[in-house]
Structure 1
């Protein structure tokens, strides 16, 4: 069976996000087709996942959390994956599927996924994800010159543009044909995307546990091919509002709670849901959202969107099944204060934010 969707990465996030969306869409006849998953790292501990992805009956995803004021717990079988390959052992098969079948390419390669080390091309298969992707694109260009859509899901702002620039920089060094460069820029669609779902734990050998909330926002552009239609997938003209809502409500809320947790020397093992059972802490966070955050978004014409996202965020924080520890959230706290609070005030400087600015200044 041809698989028009190729996925680079075996992460539990993609299992409970894109793979789940495509599985549900296939049942309604609203997906391009099934998925080939490609393992890019050669990690032996993940090798067992490959066989488990495409077993008859699918692999499990458990949805647990709060939605519309009530607790949710259900299990779904994900049947969208037709095959799984490794670039370490199946490179020829990967090249064939990429060249002959792919219409959409997904990726989620982790925090260092875009990094290219010296010696990337020392072996028959490039070591990095960008190196592998460029080699596969070059093979496709030589074989048939059909364009495709690349939908990166890494947590990088303007991820499609970032990945495109990286690929073009590598191309200039490794495959310097001008017609190949023109093809990469003209016939390959590099889409900016934003993903938002907490996938809290894996199920072995394949599967995951995730919250009910899910969003995949994809920025529209000419020639874009979507992998499927799904209620959690939004095709938008501009990703900026969605990036800001996530960064300055969900992420900002986490940083406010981490700041309280550190300054008050609260229990080392405290979780978000436990901390918000403290009425004083909850009221402090609600006041910040009401008096400083929502007015900031209102100044940009996004009051209703911010109010709805605050309500959804509080349900996510109250997820009774999620053990989200403040000590983990508090990592890199100084950098997060800048991105989540200082940058928010810079984006909407005319709105008073006395409490947030005190937090950002260390008071």
Structure 2
């Protein structure tokens, strides 16, 4: 049997001092942020590592410790019209702290002057306020609660603040995080001096991340073990493409020299155009395809793009409903959309639809709902493909359908609403905490979703797509 990846097996791998605190130990952050630290380190530009904070009580801490916090990133795909097939052991993670088992070790990070940056990816639902969190009741449930406790300890020690760069896929993520930290500071009566320190000594940046990370290559694990010569339970597959937009001060490009390392990273004063392009033209089609694809028995993004009906759906969604609603030059949007389709068709990446399906309600709210509402305002009608995707999403949240993974609050609300099928659409659309508004006010949306749900249940998602691609969906009442 091949040996496990570890520092015992590879004693010459470099070690670096901790310079970054990272909330989140999942596939994306390890193949995105930590991989970028690795590229800077190899060029002598950063010489630092990340200490990971496990955001939930159960996580990957044990598996990471078994491998001495080493893992392999596998880059597979087409980049600049060249085939990329790279394997690299990442050495830029120092250790992991589980605050649920060692809260004091977590707070002790405030003592280290070398720690300068804080990054995070705690899913779209992670940047949220939990009123039950208290300063003395640690570990706090929420990521912002834990962060506030850490920042307060840092303040008490009289030390400098941090540069905070959240990577959660929500609009204005840095501002939202800062807003919640301020709310905790007020609720916990941490004082005006602390609030002043928050403002003056810390830099909260909004950011936008872009890299498709399918994760552990389960179907090729045995083959890769033979190729690599070691066992790696944490290897992660990613596409070669990477883009990171950080809205922050110009000096950040020198303090965190990602672009200097040749990485596709932009530090800008305004990330809005980049965000709209990426969230709506890359993430939007992902969210639109996932429920429809899963209902049809498809498993991966590649399956979707190799299917004549589903690939036509993605193309028409981009061209007819998404691109016309964005405020950037059409040629630029079409060029980006073309690159998105190329990435979706990447034959080297197994991007499972079930991984995209996680927390689909908040994803729909962020990625597709703003475009749907703008379409209604400007054209006076519902976009047929987006509305069908919405109906499929709602159908998938029936417990006997796609077994969605979401917050307990969301799942409980859907379970309750589905217990009264005749009132389901109205009850769910009225959940302003899901959508940011009462969607029963959108003209025709209740009736159209009801019609499409009946069509999906009676005929399946493929037949529904075929009808929508042929024109307006017609469903008898």
Q: TM over 0.5, yes or no?
A: yes
Matched, 1:62 2:74: yes
Which of 265, 270, 274 matches 1:242? 274
Q: SS at the partner of 1:156?
A: coil
Give the 3-state SS of the residue equivalent to 2:328 in structure 1. Answer: coil
Instruction: State the superposition RMSD in angstroms.
Output: 3.4
Structure 2 residue corresponding to 1:306, chosen from 314, 319, 333: 333
Deviation at 1:191, TM superposition (A): 0.7
> Which entry has the higher C-alpha Rg, 1 or 2?
2
| 1:96-245 equivalences in 2 (<5 Å) | 96-100=108-112, 101-115=114-128, 116=130, 118=132, 120-121=134-135, 123-202=137-216, 204-221=232-249, 224=252, 226-230=255-259, 231-245=263-277
| Cα offsets for 1:81-118 (capped at 9, x unmatched) | 23333324444443333332221111122344334252
Flag the 1:315–1:138 CA change in 2: closer, same or farther, 3 A. Answer: same
Distance 2:276 2:384 in 1: 18
1:25-44 per-residue CA deviation (whole Å, 9 max, x = no partner) reads 11112226222222343426
Provide Cα deviations, 1:219-246, integer angstroms capped at 9, x if missing partner: 0237757533142221122222222112
TM-aligned CA deviation for residue 61 of structure 1: 0.8
Q: Distance in 1 between matches of 2:123 and 2:320?
A: 36
Q: Using the alignment, how far apart are the partners of 1:210 and 1:283 within structure 2?
A: 25
How much has 1:335 moved relative to structure 2?
A: 7.7
Q: Secondary structure at the match of 1:6?
A: strand
Q: 2:127 touches 2:143 (CA, 8 Å); kept in 1? A: yes
Is residue 2:371 matched to residue 1:344?
Answer: yes
Contact 2:24 2:55 in 1 (8 A): yes
Structure 2 residues without counterparts, runs of 5 or longer:
1-15, 218-231, 388-447, 453-472
Deviating more after overlay: 352-361 vs 33-42: 352-361
Work out the CA distance in 1 between the residues paired with 2:264 and 2:108: 31
- Aligned residue runs from structure 1 range 243-322, under 5 A: 243-258=275-290, 261=293, 266=296, 268-279=297-308, 281-290=310-319, 292-297=321-326, 300-322=327-349
- Which position in structure 2 is the counterpart of 1:79? 91
* Unpaired stretches in structure 1, ≥5 consecutive residues: none
The aligned residue for residue 29 of structure 2 is: 14
Q: Structure 1 or 2: larger strand share?
A: 1
Matched position secondary structure for 2:214: strand
Distance 1:66 1:99 in 2: 44
Give a deviation string over 1:326-356, Cα, whole Å, max 9, x none: 5776788788667545522655789879894
- TM-score, structure 1 as length reference: 0.82
Specify the SS of the correspondent of 1:238.
Answer: coil
CA distance in 1, matches of 2:213, 2:359: 21
Note closer, same or farther for the CA distance 1:246–1:98 as it changes in structure 2 (3 Å cut): same
User: What is residue 10 of structure 2 aligned with on the other side?
Assistant: none
Q: Per the alignment, do residues 355 and 87 of structure 1 end up closer, same or farther by CA in structure 2, a change over 3 Å counting?
A: closer
Question: Structure 2: how far apart are the matches of 1:70 and 1:32?
Answer: 30
